[in-house]
Structure 1
Amino acid sequence: MMDKELRNLFEIKEDDKINVSENKQNILKHILIRLAIFIAGTIGFTAVIFSVSGWDVLGYLIIMFAFHVVWFVCILIEALILHVNGKYILRNANLIFSVVILILYCIAYIAIFNPQY
């Protein structure tokens, strides 16, 4: 701890904290980790779905849908936490990633169910 006189001399405040890790926000690593979880879960459920038959397929499809919903909600909660912590670059990356995934979900919905207007 520095003496109060030295603090006043050098104009150092006690509130000043230096966080080097906050300045270095690795977006690529951040997105790749979330994408890896998404792809691993999808490939895992798809492999299981192709190996079963009958009504089990529908059950695993519902579980895979629940996995995607929980994963998406976790991404949104993480974006909120990143906003509170002041990591705006990672928050924006999460939000852009969420929008891209929603667009992919919409394309998959149109491709699978082919709604007619």
Structure 2
Amino acid sequence: MNSELRELFEIKREDEQKKTGPPADQNAASHILIRLTVMIIGTLAFAIVINDAKGWDGLALLMLMAVFHAVWLLFIIVEAVILQNKKKFTLRNINLIFILVLLLIYGIGGIFLFGFA
């Protein structure tokens, strides 16, 4: 083959490899682990403090934990929008699944707290 054609095919093969595989900067495992770790450590820390609280302090800390969860959920939503703009669709999908799971858990907790009606 001609050297010019060979160069053309090599460039085309590189372009196809780039399109088919996910970008190298999208590490899904660390993305999931970081978000889950922050949520679990925050919840456990609040649970330990709430367990040691006396009187109305426990209720105040419970409300503070709800604020923590709301801010964390807002952070995940904003991050999903930013990942959409950066065209990192794998990480965006992970965030969307994480949002749906959190909303499902919050919904189940709300049903048990406020009743089935």
Tell me the residue number matched to 1:88.
Answer: 89
For residues 58 and 92 of structure 2, the distance between their equivalents in structure 1, rounded to whole angstroms, comes to 36
Tell me the residue number matched to 2:32.
Answer: 31
Any gaps of 5 or more consecutive residues in structure 2? 1-6, 9-17
**TM-score (normalised: structure 1):** 0.77
Q: Percent of aligned pairs with the same residue?
A: 44
Cα shift at 1:111: 2.4
Q: Which has the higher helix share?
A: 2
For residues 35 and 69 of structure 1, the distance between their equivalents in structure 2, rounded to whole angstroms, comes to 15
For residues 54 and 87 of structure 1, the distance between their equivalents in structure 2, rounded to whole angstroms, comes to 47
For residues 92 and 110 of structure 2, the distance between their equivalents in structure 1, rounded to whole angstroms, comes to 27
User: What secondary structure sits across from 2:54 in the alignment?
Assistant: coil
1:57 is aligned to 2:54: no
**TM-score (normalised: structure 2):** 0.77
Aligned alpha-carbon RMSD (Å): 1.9
For residues 116 and 35 of structure 1, the distance between their equivalents in structure 2, rounded to whole angstroms, comes to 29
User: What secondary structure sits across from 1:23 in the alignment?
Assistant: coil
Any gaps of 5 or more consecutive residues in structure 1? 1-9, 12-17
For residues 100 and 53 of structure 2, the distance between their equivalents in structure 1, rounded to whole angstroms, comes to 32
User: What secondary structure sits across from 1:94 in the alignment?
Assistant: helix
Cα shift at 1:28: 1.7
Tell me the residue number matched to 2:110.
Answer: 109
Runs of 4+ displaced beyond 3 Å:
none
Cα shift at 1:30: 0.4
For residues 88 and 116 of structure 2, the distance between their equivalents in structure 1, rounded to whole angstroms, comes to 43
Question: How many residues matched?
Answer: 99
